Amino acid sequence: MYQVKDKIAFLEQHLSKKRFQHSCNVARAARQLAQRYGADMDKAYFAGLVHDICKEMPFEEQHRLMVAGDFAPDIAELHSRKLWHGIAGAYFLQEEFGITDKEILLAVRFHTVGRDHMSLLEEIIYIADMISEERDYKGVGKMRKLAEENLQAAMLEALTDAIGSVLKKGGLLPQYTIAAYNGYLLQKYAKLHEQKERKNG
């Protein structure tokens, strides 16, 4: 359905060995998370495989693809070149490969910045990118454990870390990331309130 072999061949040709291996690792992690949380495993694998399809394109081409599509980059994204590839990738998949599945396109588009009201597939790709096999940053073990236990808790942890890192560097925060953080934090507060109400019942 997703012509995975063709996409693997394309990625092998257009990505560095390191980036290609990362893409394969994310695909495997996404499939495992999909199995864990009841999502479509084939779709998760495919989205994970192609999430960085535009990562190593020249920035000029990434910019062209980003502004040509209808995936609405905000002002912070437009001024942060490292964020262009997700937006560009969604449009590239749509235009060059004829991918029309909105879930896949949005999972690729938001795999770096997140957004409020993410679908299960979007959450899976965001987190799979954080916990793929080759990742060795401080705290990756905690993130992998959270991903197995509670995907929403993992999202909140990942967004908190991402925002903290951007702030330390004096970078711009996309409105999507802020909305995502607020959304997941509100979910956490609602669950805590519900637990308290049941306890006091």
60-87 per-position pLDDT tens digit: 999 999 999 999 999 999 999 999 999 9
What is the domain count for the chain?
A: 1
pTM above 0.85, yes or no: yes
Residue with the two structure tokens 């990562």: 55
pLDDT mean over 145-170? 96
User: Tokens standing for 112?
Assistant: 């770096």
Cβ–Cβ < 8 Å for 104, 121: yes
Cβ–Cβ < 8 Å for 43, 103: yes
Give the gyration radius of the chain's Cα atoms: 17
Q: How much of the chain exceeds pLDDT 90, in percent?
A: 93
The boundaries of the domain holding residue 162 are 4-200
Q: Please choose, from the candidates 121, 124, 115, 129, the residue with its C-alpha nearest in 3D space to the C-alpha of residue 183.
A: 115
CATH code, domain carrying 47: 1.10.3210.10
